Amino acid sequence: MKTPNRYASLTGAAVAATLALSGCGGAAPAADGTKAPSVATKTSGILNVGIDLTYPPYDMLTDGKPAGFDVEVMNAISADLGLKPQYSDTRFAQIVAGIKADRYDVIASTLYVSSARSKEVDFVPYFQTGNSIVVPKDAAALTDAQSLCGKKVSVVTATVIAKIMPTTESDKCKAAGKEAITVQEFPTDPEATQALLSGQVDAQMTDAAVAKTVIEKSNSRLKISSGALIYPVAVGLAVRKGNTALQDALTKSVENLKTSGSFAKILKEYNLEPVDPAVLAESLKQG
């Protein structure tokens, strides 16, 4: 999981390698020329997507090809628009600068919606993520942040939840006459998971999609015990400021995918949710 939950840009130089989509599994097929493009893009018939392919399970390379949640979504959107997707692998710290410089048509890289970013790009909100609680398979369910009062919880170092759990959330615990949450920080999610498997902690809290991957790799030893996403945040596709034609086309395409039911299937696969208007409004207040 990238830190801190993609609210802040990462340091590092941009890597601009354009990767043509070829045979990525689990997604709608690319446009095959039978459907005319419904919106103009930088290169006729191509939807060039800025993406950081180092953030599994959202954005990654599998067998050398773009894969993950955002890739599945953009493959489906591209097909709906009559376009062929092409992926420009760009490190996250430089991804907004890249679209402002007109290097690609759209950003699809788990870009959190915020007040500051809305001044730099135009958003098309398409899903919301947040955090989930992971516990041993036979453990009692811990359903929300307050159910962690008095528990030991593993998290990734320097994330938003690493700051909230021992402060704001623990203050709520104490106000309710309960013990504070004991937070143990680890450099990576796999290390936080290992602490849970070895009994060092009672639970792990991590990004919802990452939690889904943790469960799949645990050989049925772990489960997600929380229900709704914890600390949800809206995520948006982003286009260059003022590119209303593409913004409108993407918005319509997302709605088409919702109507067909294909978007709901992708969200479920990754343990994610559609955008709640209240969550979007709150996200737009953040810096």
Residue 286: its pLDDT value, please? 80
**246: Cβ–Cβ under 8 A, 6 or more apart, which residues?**
39, 40, 41, 105, 106, 239
Percentage of residues in the chain with pLDDT exceeding 70? 88
- Closest Cα to residue 49, out of 95, 3, 109, 107? 107
CB atoms within 10 A of CB 276: 16
Express each pLDDT in 87-144 by its tens digit: 999 999 899 999 999 999 999 999 999 999 999 999 999 999 999 999 999 999 999 9
Q: Which spans in 165-243 are helix H?
A: 170-175, 189-197, 208-217
